[in-house]
Amino acid sequence: MADGLLQPAWIAASDGTVQYCNQAWFDFCGAVHEEDINQIWLRSTHPDDHPRYGADSMPGQAGEQVVRCWHFASRGWYRLHGRQMPVRGGSGETLHWFFIAHEAAMMGDTPQRDAELESRAHELAAVNHYLVNALREREAALAQFEQHTAHLGAVIATQAQLAQAELDLDEFMRIVVQRMIELTPATGAVVELADGDEMVYRAVSGVVAPYLGLRLARVGSLSGLCVQLGEILESADTMLDARVDQEACRKINALSMVVTPLFHAGIPVGVLKILADRPYAFTPAHTHTLQLMAGLIGSAIGHQLSFETKQMLLEERTAALNALESEVARRRASEERTRLIIESSGEAFMSMDLDGLITDWNQQAEQTFGWRRDEVLGRPLYDVLVPAGKRDDYAAALAGFLQAVEGQALSQRLELVGQTLGRGEIPIEMSITAIRSGNSFLFSAFLRDISERKREEERLRHLADHDVLTGLPNRRALTGALEQALARANRMQREAAVMFLDLDGFKAINDTHGHEAGDVLLRQFAARIIASVRQNDLVCRLGGDEFVVLLEGLTDGRQDAARVAEQIVARMADEIALPECAVRVTTSLGIALYLPHSGMSADALLGSADEALYVAKRAGKNRYAIAGGAGKD
The residues with which 1 forms a beta bridge, in sequence order, are none
- Specify the DSSP element, H or E, that contains 354: none
CATH 3.30.450.20, applies to 2-139: yes
Residues 132-147: pLDDT tens digits? 677 777 777 676 667 6
Burial bucket for residue 194 (CB in 10 Å: 0-12, 13-18, 19+): buried
| Cα–Cα distance measured from residue 471 to residue 408, given in angstroms and rounded to the nearest whole number | 52
* Cα 564 to the center of its chain, rounded Å: 57
| Cα–Cα distance measured from residue 259 to residue 13, given in angstroms and rounded to the nearest whole number | 52
Q: What is the pLDDT of residue 308?
A: 40
| Cα–Cα distance measured from residue 356 to residue 503, given in angstroms and rounded to the nearest whole number | 64
Q: What is the pLDDT of residue 274?
A: 94
Residue 431 and residue 311 in contact, taking contact as beta carbons nearer than 8 Å = yes
> Which of these, 421, 449, 445, lies nearest to 435 by C-alpha position?
445
Residue 162 and residue 180 in contact, taking contact as beta carbons nearer than 8 Å = no
Outline which parts of the chain fall under CATH 3.30.70.270.
466-632
What is this structure's pTM? 0.40
Outline which parts of the chain fall under CATH 3.30.450.40.
165-309
Buried/exposed code over 512-533 (b: 16+ C-beta within 10 A; e: otherwise):
ebeeebbebbbebbbebbeebb
- Per the annotation, the verdict on 574 as an active-site residue is no
Residue 208 and residue 275 in contact, taking contact as beta carbons nearer than 8 Å = yes
Outline which parts of the chain fall under CATH 3.30.450.20.
2-139, 332-454
Burial bucket for residue 380 (CB in 10 Å: 0-12, 13-18, 19+): middle
| Cα radius of gyration rounded to whole Å, the chain | 42
Instruction: Work out whether the CA dihedral 290, 444, 354, 141 comes out positive or negative.
Output: positive
> Which of these, 104, 107, 59, lies nearest to 84 by C-alpha position?
59
Give the CATH H-level superfamily of domain 332-454. PAS domain (3.30.450.20)
CATH 3.30.450.40, applies to 165-309: yes
Residues of the chain below pLDDT 70: 1-2, 35, 52-61, 107-125, 127-128, 132, 141, 143-145, 147-148, 151, 159-167, 299-300, 302-318, 321, 324, 327-331, 333-335, 339, 343-345, 398-410, 437, 629-633
Quick one: CA torsion of 206, 209, 210, 214, rounded to 10 degrees? 130
Name the 3-class secondary structure at 444. Answer: strand
> CB-based contacts of 387: which residues, under 8 Å, 6+ apart?
417, 418, 419, 425
Q: What is the pLDDT of residue 309?
A: 44
Per CATH, the number for 466-632 is 3.30.70.270
Which one of the listed residues 277, 374, 545, 610 is annotated catalytic?
545
Q: What is the pLDDT of residue 167?
A: 62
What is the full DSSP assignment across 521-584?
HHHHHHHHHHHHS-TTSEEEEEETTEEEEEEEEESSHHHHHHHHHHHHHHHTTS-EE-SS-EE-
| Cα–Cα distance measured from residue 182 to residue 459, given in angstroms and rounded to the nearest whole number | 48
